[in-house]
Structure 1
């Protein structure tokens, strides 16, 4: 009898332990609506509650990424809400998909914690197989987030840049040397890349320059130099923003990726700048991995010291 009672207690304790181990990632409020006239799936990201804290200070900088599987062709992102575990987004995104093709797709709503200095961590996600939703009427729901896999970072390519500063002349020379393994932006699997160099001082744009366009290549060779006059007293606060674009004759040029070097940068961008300052009058070359343009722009909005 004692043995039986003991086993029952042990079983109950095990269940409690399992419940305690169930992690809470928070929940997300969203809407779904389908416009049959225009073949549009309209996704509303309203707000989140009780998100997991991912930062050291016990908070997070959340944003939501919205995309369809399996193709992942079109991705949307909400704005980042700073230091907020119950953020309000109120943003709407539209996927143009014929109704007959929707059934085989899955909508993913993935909540990330924005990290200026590294990979963005997944807080949690919701996956909605479209064949499980009745789109005859709008859907408005709160759902619990579940643990999500880290999304593989898309490779945008690398760029080699040489920096040289002559303190006595107050002259900064930036040489755009070459790029490799750029993301293909054109239908034929190639791109027409060129590079834009923007010089900023304490966030204020000073000058910008552009390289020539290289046709039909993912591995362009530029070797183009640009010189700027920067007094020695200002060089510590200078930012160099380098964006690789795909030239488009008919529409707007698409950004392939961006690099931030100098004041406020981190990682390779800061180290390259420090190496240049430590070696006056000598050119210092360095390869940089391109980052998404919106990611760099978001990081630049943070106050710098």
Structure 2
């Protein structure tokens, strides 16, 4: 792009003004004070103008670019100043807010001490220690309840125990029911025991059975009546549902006592070791024949005076509690 004539004239005048006059060969160059600086400034301005002339842009475009650059610089300065002022303002507010809402550690300690003293006062009123307070109450398993009656015949020295009924027993069989019966005895004598009839598939059996213990009244106070409810199983050990223990020294025999008691978990009785027996069974459906073979017995209980026994085996075939056949080997 060609420059305008007016612009050329201005540039030529500047170059003529800036250019230094040529000195004759025999003339001595005299440098005025500060003349070196003016000469250097003139050279820089001349160089700048030469570079400016090389840019293919009109003057108005250069002026616009310069204005935009100045505006950008001013905008950046304004943003930096604003940001600094905003930080100082927030810092000041934070200090004021912290001063108002600051936590006083002394007040916190006093509050904690007050709450502790209050808890100690509550424990003193209730009579609970720290260990008892932390202990959570265990959920009691519901095993049902048993109704019984007690009476004593002073003329015949007989304790009469009536097993009336049981209710809300747990289901221990696969069908959602149980086959309950009650076993009772007087502690510490466990040899004489009585049992009720088995009631099939029910959780609320009605027994209405009575049993008699021959015991003098003078000895009755040191005994405890134990009523244990079992679930009958035909092919395995009977399951204990729960029991009720009645100390005789807590019963008033001046009248007939009849009451309901909740069943509690029964203590496992230690089974007396009587020995082991090994046998085999074989059934032939086509012939309808059951073969039982007694192989051996070991660890049997000593029954004779000499510390030995004379064992034999007796076999019973039972059906619904009735004996069908009997064999002796």
TM-score w.r.t. length of structure 1: 0.53
Counterpart residue number, 1:109: 227
Distance of aligned partners of 1:190 and 1:25 in 2 relative to their CA distance in 1, 3 Å threshold: farther
What residue number does 1:151 align with?
269
Q: 1:60-79 residue pairs with structure 2 within 5 A?
A: 60-79=178-197
Quickly say closer, same or farther: Cα 1:46–1:155, change in 2 above 3 A: farther
Match of 1:18 in 2: 137
Displacement of 1:32: 0.8
CA distance in 2, matches of 1:188, 1:39: 40
1:131–1:185 Cα change, 3 Å:
farther
Larger radius of gyration: 2
1:95 equivalent in structure 2: 213
Which secondary structure state, in structure 2, belongs to the residue aligned with residue 131 of structure 1? helix
Question: Which of 214, 217, 239 matches 1:121?
Answer: 239
Give the whole-Å Cα distance in 2 for the aligned partners of 1:41 and 1:27: 22
Partner Cα distance (1:120, 1:34) in 2 = 31
Equivalents in 1 of 2:279, 2:290: separation in Å?
13
The 3-state SS of whatever aligns with 1:147 is coil
Structure with bigger RCO (C-alpha 8 Å, 6+ apart): 1
Matches within 5 A, 1:236-275: none
Q: Which has the higher helix share?
A: 2
Between Structure 1 and Structure 2, the one with more strand by share is 1
Name the counterpart of 2:63: none
Relative to 1, partners in 2 of residues 1:206 and 1:60: Cα closer, same or farther, differing over 3 Å? closer
- 1:110-163 Cα offsets, whole Å, 9 max, x none, are 112223343322212111111111122211111111221233334444334477
Q: Which residue of 2 aligns with 1:27?
A: 145
Distance 1:78 1:200, change over 3 A: closer
Q: Which one of 67, 80, 94 corresponds to residue 198 of structure 2? A: 80
Deviations, residues 240-262 of structure 1 (Å, cap 9, x unaligned): xxxxxxxxxxxxxxxxxxxxxxx
Alignment of 1:130-279 (within 5 A): 130-161=248-279, 176=294, 179-182=297-300, 194-198=312-316, 208-211=326-329
RMSD: 4.5
Could you state the TM-score of these two structures normalised by the residue count of structure 2? 0.49
Is the 8 Å Cα contact of residues 65 and 112 (structure 1) preserved in structure 2?
yes
Q: Which runs of 5+ in 2 are unaligned?
A: 1-110, 123-132
Aligned length: 205
